[in-house]
Structure 1
Amino acid sequence: MTVLASCETYRISVPLKKPFKTALRTVVAAEAIIVHLTTSDGHSGFGEAPPTHVITGDTLEGIERAVELIFTQLTGLDIRHPERIFEKLHKTLIGNTSAKAAIDMALYDLIAQNAKLPLTLYLGGYRESVETDYTVSVNAPEEMANDAAKYEKQGFKVLKVKVGIDTPENDLERIRAIRACIGGKITLRLDANQGWNPKSAVRIINEMEQEGLDIELIEQPVHAADIEGLKFVTEHTMTPIMADESVFSPVDARRVLEMRAADLINIKLMKAGGIHQALKINALAESYGVRCMTGSMIETKLGLSAAAHFAASQPNVTRFDFDAPLMLKEDIVPGGITYSERTIHFSQQPGLGIDAERFLTTLRERRG
């Protein structure tokens, strides 16, 4: 019998190459709790949880404590019966989706190792690689245009542009500047991070449409709780609207889908509480004919490996926002996914493909 034997947590902080700015926050380093689970037969599984308090409400201290509490209910459970484990994982605490996601990742890492399959194959194996976009932080129009041109030269074909920090009119100037700089060959998608109100969103999106700025989609234009407002924007614009912060759980997804409040859904493991719930959200969206994107917070390659394995395994996930590790000054995770410019490739090692011995050495050294 292969049972869960122990759980360790580690704090990490990895500086970014450039501050990451959105309507909600400015980030200068990727901070996270790393979760290390071991089984009775000596296998290691890893997960990651960044404290994105303005979105999930989680802090480093809170994640650590939640992981500790949850694992007291998981100790001794057999990973060959995963549904029993996931039931306990999601019933032990209300909320705490980041802590749950980190444990969930580590569990799936172990479960796929036990099956002797890379996680993407264990989950479905739909794609062998995926292509990520790259995010342009919100700044002055000229700086954003220069950043967009730089990322285009690096080989990225899709840019996710952050807006919503001040006024929609200023956002329009930002998009005009970017289009003037890079032309029409690059796909642009916008993320307002809840920064607009419904009427302003409709007005500014209609202006972008009339000017031919060619925006692929607009992500979370209004406040997360304003589903009626999200529906208003979706119904009064031609540009596809994506729900992000409005959808944490399958219950949230069902409400958005039943109301036809959005054209697309962005699934993030930190919001959903991990892969187990993300699969449910995706299946629900697929039943309504709604495609999904999988995104992430500012995470290392560990968290992105789990998200990418999930996304690549599912045909209904058609867009990928996995650029966070490329923003970091160093890669501290041995193994996992690899990047070739915008293309992400998967290890053929079982699970997430993390080199456990090397990674643990790094974590312990950084702990001091």
Structure 2
Amino acid sequence: MLVHLDLFNNELSGVLPPSIGNLGSLEELNLSINRISGELPAFIGNLTNLRSLLLLSNNFFGEFPAFIGNLQSLESLDIRECSFSGRIPLSLGNLTQLQWLVLASNNFLGELPASIGGLRSLERLDASSCNFSGPIPPSLGQMLSYNKIPYILTAVILSSNRFHGEIPTSIANLKGLQVLSLANNNLEGHIPSCFGDLTKLESLDLSNNWFSGQIPQQLTGLTFLEFFNVSHNNLTGPIPEENQFPTFDNNSFDGNSGLCGKPLFKECENSEAPANEDQIAGSKALFSGAFDWEIVLIGYAGGVVAGLVLGFNFSTGIVGWFLEKLGMLQKTRRKKRRRRN
């Protein structure tokens, strides 16, 4: 009885053979880093015992199929660096056992579906560089009916998309968040002061957006914060000086002509005071330039594929932070982005 099928990095090409659909006992299927093409065939939906489906870095195309919702035993799903398009199916929300979801570097259409709020076991979400548009779904932070969700979801990576509007304050409900990256989008408004409630946060990247107003003083309460980047926005006022903020270099604040105070050379006027509450949204500022960094993790244990592959799009500093903290191999690629009008 075949339980684990690992075809990782074998230069396979062509389409998947239908015989794979007969492997009903299969729990792990790793087809990563090949040249397999065509649409994802419907017989994959027959593999209802699958716990891990890794398809990253292939030539799949077409819409990501709705039958994925049949695979309700899935714990990890990685489809990064394929050429999937169309809308993410609402049936994705059926995967209540899913812990790792990596959608990065595809060409999806429209919004990230609100059904993602149904992923009650989710620990890490990477939906970076996917061409998503619209607002960030508030349902991402409205999982309070699942007692564990506010604490087990530790990483949300939504960078390098076309999300617009304000950050939903419901994200502050995710008390277990350690990594939050919303960089390289069209987000606007103020930085929510309720982010100060994310006390486990270690990395916060809001760079290359249109945020305005002041940096909330409440963020000084994030005593575990090791990486912070709000560069290339339209922020104003003094940079907070308490706790970990003096450890961030000036690159974290570049491209905000209205900011003042250390580590910048621009001194603040005496009349300027740190913000103690949410700021009213102001004007928008164009930004340019972005870095697209990717980290690929693949692990093996006892011949069983236990590898989970994550793609993260962070700015320069977070790569060093992530490598130091997790000891990961890195694969980086720099992309230039056009200035938004």
TM-score w.r.t. the length of structure 2 is 0.28
In terms of Rg, which structure is larger? 2
Larger RCO (CA within 8 A; separation ≥ 6): 1
Higher helix share: 1
TM-score w.r.t. the length of structure 1 is 0.27
